[in-house]
Chains A and B, each alone.
Chain A
Amino acid sequence: MSAETRTGAPVLEVDDLRISFRERAAERAAVHGLGFSVEAGETLAIVGESGCGKSLTAFALLGLLPGNARASGRVRLEGRDILGLEGEAMRRLRGTRIAMIFQEPMTALNPVLTIGAQIVEAIREHEAVSAADARTRTLSLLARVRIPDPERRFGEYPHRLSGGMRQRVVIAMALACAPAVLVADEPTTALDVTVQAEILDLIDDLRRETGMAVVLITHDLGLVAEHADRVLVMYAGRAVEAGSAAALFAAPRHPYTRALVAARPRPGSALRQRLVEIPGQVPPPGAMPPGCAFAPRCPAAEAPCRETPPPLPSVGTAAERVACLRWKDLRAPDQSPVRLGA
């Protein structure tokens, strides 16, 4: 998808990330030993349903976990350990090396400042530049996020802009100091479908131009198929499958991924046909089954699945991993033989 800008060296490496919450006396684990890496110029999508720990992982990357949460493991940003960095050291990284955008552009902008002033502040927070230079850079940022007529928009207040335009401003602020990694937490969930595509195309273009890495957090598999190079599927705080987006959609291996892919509404299916659903619910953090977290909902679960959590071994190529004891025995949901990698 973007081979021309990839360098091969991972800018962000996460290894054995564990996040737990202290609740009264008990520790409740929310993310269990997550590992992934992202190369420059690449988009990694982290997919999973609400509560699987994907947003928590994003917050941990930027050192924004709530006070009662504890993280362990390793997060390396451009070769430097950043997990546990605090205060000024972490603040200097935010915006310059790693930045984040959120779901809701309506409330992420300051209603009493013009959008130009807000982007100028984002630049001057990290760099000592003159007001005139900051203004010039802001105008070029506005143009780069394809806001028409930047000169005029510079002096406008956020309430004058549409949701899509506001998200563009938020992206411009995030990119003001050219971060190496952009974490996008459901960046288009609050927007209209047509605007969603524009925003994600914009992020793709900016990624290609700047060579930044993008971590796209979403529950929307449609977006993943179109905008991600690689995918990490999370379930109940664990990675259950990882691989290239193309392979994962062509031949999902883990029963959960298969169910997700099958549950996706598709064009062409009969209008009145019921959407496929996954029976059961995600186990709450306090009541994790001893074995595979998906076993209670898995149609293929057997006795060993319920005993110990499955490891996440490489299957096929090194980047393809699946945490399932039985994936080889399984057939695709439509009962045609599963096409395996390699």
Chain B
Amino acid sequence: MTGTLTISAARPRPAGLVARLIRRPSAVVGLALLGLVAGAGLAAPVLYPGDPLDMIGAPLQWPGMDPAFPLGTDMLGRDIAAGITHGARISLMIGAVATLVALVIGVGIGAGAGYYGGRVEAALMRLTELFQTIPPFLFTLAIVAVLQPSIPTIVLAIGLTGWPGLARLVRAEVLRLRDGELVQASIVIGASDARIIGLHILPNVLAPVVVSASILVANAILTESSLAFLGLGDPNVVSWGGMVGAGREVIRTDWFVAAAPGLAIVAAVLALNLLGDGLNDALDLKRALR
């Protein structure tokens, strides 16, 4: 038996996050769709410099009837394409900021409860459960209705109702790490609580947090659209949900008025869910290193 056995000495360096992400078809589709939506939002002021709520054409023109309005106009003569591109800005912005609010509250409460345990944990988790007992959409609706609909109140309401799941996730992860050797090894060399949480615990719970944040953005977009559909959107800005809501009156004759912004919502939410899925796989370091 002759043969050569080659042993490569260098272990291949694990690929970067982006490289691992683009190996997954769902993540690629998600990223592409999200890029499309974000691109539309970014291009909106260039493509449609005017206010998308202005009535600039004849009402209810079907897509293709007038090359100036590729997606047609609604019953007030507003350009649907302009509404969708501008709506992308609003939707993504509200989704991102509301998720940021939820992240700050959820990570803070979850980390505090998980790390300190005892009474702190009991109090924080009871508060979390209290929030979880209220149906989140009704809760959001109530907050917006009380505070008057505007972008800041919508962001605040979505953020305030979005954090409990995140808090529980972070608490569970922190609990797992808190009694682990990494934390113990940091304690015995005198690391402070702040340093242990900030340096050793939170970076190691980042992966599941990033994944659930992408889903939270999708949920925030859906919630904002639902609010706008019910007429609780900011009346001064265009919103996909509001466009669907307006279009439902003419859905039997001119279904495209509701369908076009509806498809935009589907695209954005689907993109974020696919991305979340891909991130979930890509951030699973143990699998990535194998």
A residues with a Cβ closer than 8 A to B are 62, 64, 91-96, 99-102, 104, 107-113, 121-122, 125-126, 159-160, 170, 173-174, 176-177, 183
Minimum distance in angstroms from A78 CB to a CB of chain B: 16
Contact of A94 with B203 at beta-carbon distance under 8 Å, contacts A109-B182, A110-B182, A121-B195 already known: no
Q: Is the CB of A95 within 8 A of B189?
A: yes
Q: Is the CB of A111 within 8 A of B204?
A: yes
- Max count, chain A CB within 10 A of own CB: residue among B199, B204, B285: B199
List, sorted by A's number, 28 A–B pairs whose CB atoms are closer than 8 Å: A64-B187, A91-B191, A94-B187, A95-B191, A96-B190, A99-B188, A99-B189, A99-B190, A101-B185, A102-B181, A102-B188, A107-B181, A107-B182, A108-B184, A108-B185, A110-B199, A110-B200, A110-B203, A112-B204, A113-B203, A121-B191, A121-B195, A125-B195, A126-B190, A173-B189, A174-B189, A177-B190, A183-B188
Contact of A107 among B11, B180, B206, B285 (CB under 8 A): B180
- Tally of A-B residue pairs with Cβ under 8 A? 73
Minimum distance in angstroms from B99 CB to a CB of chain A: 22
- Chain A residue at minimum C-beta to C-beta distance from B181: A107
Taking CB atoms and an 8 Å cut-off, the chain B residues in 171-199 that contact chain A are 180-182, 184-185, 187-192, 195, 199
B residues with a Cβ closer than 8 A to A are 11, 180-182, 184-185, 187-192, 195, 199-200, 203-204, 206, 285, 289
Knowing that A102-B181, A110-B204, A173-B185 touch, tell me 19 more A-B residue pairs with CB under 8 angstroms.
Answer: A64-B184, A64-B187, A91-B190, A91-B192, A95-B190, A99-B190, A102-B188, A104-B181, A107-B182, A108-B184, A111-B285, A112-B204, A112-B206, A113-B199, A121-B191, A122-B189, A126-B190, A160-B11, A174-B189
- Chain B residue at minimum C-beta to C-beta distance from A176: B189
Main DSSP-derived SS at the B contact region? helix
Contact of B190 among A92, A108, A113, A170 (CB under 8 A): A92
Q: Contacts of A93 on B, CB cut-off 8 Å?
A: 190
Q: Is the CB of B192 within 8 A of A95?
A: no
Minimum distance in angstroms from A181 CB to a CB of chain B: 11
Q: Is the CB of A112 within 8 A of B189?
A: no
